[in-house]
Amino acid sequence: MSAPDLLYSEIEEELRASVRDLLTDRCPPSAVLARCEGPSPYDPALWRGLAVELGVAGLHVPEEYGGAGASLRETAVVLEELGRRVAPVPFLGSAVLATGLLLAACPQDPLLAEVAAGARTVTLAVPLSTAPGAGFPGTVRAAAGGRLSGRVTSVADALTAELLLVPAEGPDGPALYAVEASAAGLGVARRTSLDLTRPLADVTLNEVPGRRLAEGGPAVRALRQALTTGAGLLASEQLGVAEWCLSTTVEYLKERRQFARRLGSFQALKHRLADLWLETVGARAAARYAADTLAAGGPDAEVAVALAQAHCGALAVRAAEECVQLHGGIGMTWEHPAHLYLKRAKADQLALGTPGHHRAALAGLVDLPGPVG
């Protein structure tokens, strides 16, 4: 087994620069805040710029299936930058979870090429809190004719999706279905969610026609793989959130003065930020290890994902909490974007398995069970 590559390649840095430039131009904090207050939480123009102009929607999809032919390492870099901006785009739902499911279940289906080209936005209809390895969802039932009925709560990116990939239990067992968002009998209702930049929605299906994509064992394995990939790459978004909070706080404390001194000159604050920097460096290593292992299809993928999620979820929350607190009064206001990062960090901490779930999974994977009794 080759050693993991935790460094960024020249191509990855070029991709980062392109994504960062686009986000700097089109996704300032003021625009994100304004969108949170409006009826449309997503920015379709920004998503079109990312998905179509930069081609990140199908970044890790092989060229033979209509994608860019990059790897999950490059997709992780995009997530870092999106996390750094808490960008209101459906990248996680469409380009990571749904695309991962299509790649694992039915790569030759024409739908994958449409999603990779940014022509269609898709999402995976499972609760965002679903952890890799959870049982196959049973809240949606499929009739013999392929009509789906049931309800799925707290689905990410469902509000903007044109098509949903729905796991359902049918007469022949578990299966995956593609459902048009405009189909009769399908309802998508927005929930009051903590993260205003990635709202959740409940999906109800009342005898909605679905197109079966996979069934049986392949469907179960594809869903597990998509959730594992999503959890591993989510660590990169959490890293981006933490790095923005740290760098923004450092810059603020270098300028803000109290008691005739710059706040950053106080030793106690230096220690807090130094500790946070060290934890962020560790989180970067864990996130890159997960991305590299997933990209290589290595046998340690589940270990790397559990390790990254156990570490990065908690780190992002701590960085955001420090950001809010060390900005003082201004950090508590609506106008400052610090609260958006804290909400994204807290929501991400619960997404695709909590840190506690991943720590327990990691203990089992490396055969280090906790004490009994």
What local confidence, expressed as pLDDT, does residue 371 receive? Answer: 64
Helix%, strand%, coil% for the chain, nearest 5: 55, 15, 30
CB 166 within 8 A of CB 177: yes
Q: Which two tokens stand for residue 281?
A: 């460096």
Pairwise CA distance, residues 132 & 191, whole Å: 23
- Block means of pLDDT (10 residues each) for the chain, 373 residues, are 85 97 95 87 94 95 95 98 97 97 96 96 97 93 93 97 96 95 96 93 97 96 98 98 98 91 92 97 97 94 96 97 95 94 97 95 88 58
What local confidence, expressed as pLDDT, does residue 372 receive? Answer: 58
Residues 6 or more apart whose CB falls under 8 angstroms from that of 304 comprise 4, 232, 286, 289, 290, 292, 293, 294, 298
Pairwise CA distance, residues 69 & 89, whole Å: 22
CB 158 within 8 A of CB 93: yes
Cα Rg, the chain, nearest whole Å: 21
What local confidence, expressed as pLDDT, does residue 145 receive? Answer: 85
The candidate with the shortest Cα–Cα distance to 254, out of 244, 242, 264, 245, is 264
Span 315-353, pLDDT tens digits: 999 999 999 999 999 999 999 999 999 999 999 999 999
Pairwise CA distance, residues 250 & 252, whole Å: 5
Would you give the end-to-end CA distance of the chain in angstroms? Answer: 38
Q: Which two tokens stand for residue 347?
A: 């929501």
Pairwise CA distance, residues 308 & 303, whole Å: 9
Q: Which two tokens stand for residue 181?
A: 């968002």
Instruction: Quickly tell me which residue has 């840190």 as its tokens.
Output: 355
Span 343-365, pLDDT tens digits: 999 999 999 999 999 999 999 99
Pairwise CA distance, residues 166 & 357, whole Å: 24
What local confidence, expressed as pLDDT, does residue 213 receive? Answer: 97
Give CA 247 to chain center in angstroms.
21
What local confidence, expressed as pLDDT, does residue 275 receive? Answer: 97
Single pTM value for the model: 0.96
> Bridge partners of 147?
209
Sign of torsion, CA 136 140 144 146?
negative
